[in-house]
Amino acid sequence: MTTDLPSLSPCDALVAVMVAVSASDSRMRTSELVAIQRMVDHAPVFAQYDDDRIRAISQTVMTLFEEEDGLDALFGLVREALPPRLHETAYALACDVAAADGRLYENEIAMLAEIRDQLDISRLHAAAIELSSRVRHLTL
């Protein structure tokens, strides 16, 4: 396993969670990548974030996904970087990325469950976040 893991800023950790959801089904769809960029460009939490870091964070996530214990390492980095008050924000952003293409895939659902568990999101709060994400991404 990689021993020289980078430390992440809180915003890097949010990006890493979004990328992890997108990459969880082994296919990063254009709609998901556009959603990540849109959220980084517009969400208040990213106001001071250098969006040129998205590529480096994405590469870190992809490299970790290739490692045997990479998912554990990723969540270790995320928990270390992300203050608890942003755990639900991370989950909300992850749900929006998963919903961006109009369909939830099995691996995305599993990754969302892992995020809930790793970030200690209550089931009630998770359900509210999931509902709000679903209704924001409905189409006619």
**Can you give the pLDDT of all 140 residues of the chain as single tens digits?**
445 667 899 999 999 999 999 999 878 889 899 999 999 999 999 999 999 999 999 999 999 999 999 999 999 999 999 999 999 999 999 999 999 988 888 999 999 999 999 999 999 999 999 999 999 888 88
Classify residue 127: in a domain, yes or no. yes
- Whether 5 is in a domain gets the answer no
Cα dihedral 118/62/98/101 (nearest 10): 180
In a domain, 19, yes or no: yes
Residue 26 placed within a domain: yes
CATH number at residue 25: 1.10.3680
Which of these, 125, 113, 94, lies nearest to 21 by C-alpha position?
94
- How many independent structural domains does the chain possess? 1
Say how many residues make up the chain: 140
Domain that holds residue 100: 10-136
| Residue 1 resides in a domain | no
Q: At what angle do helices 10-23 and 70-81 cross, to 10 degrees?
A: 150
Tell me, yes or no, whether 2 lies in a domain.
no
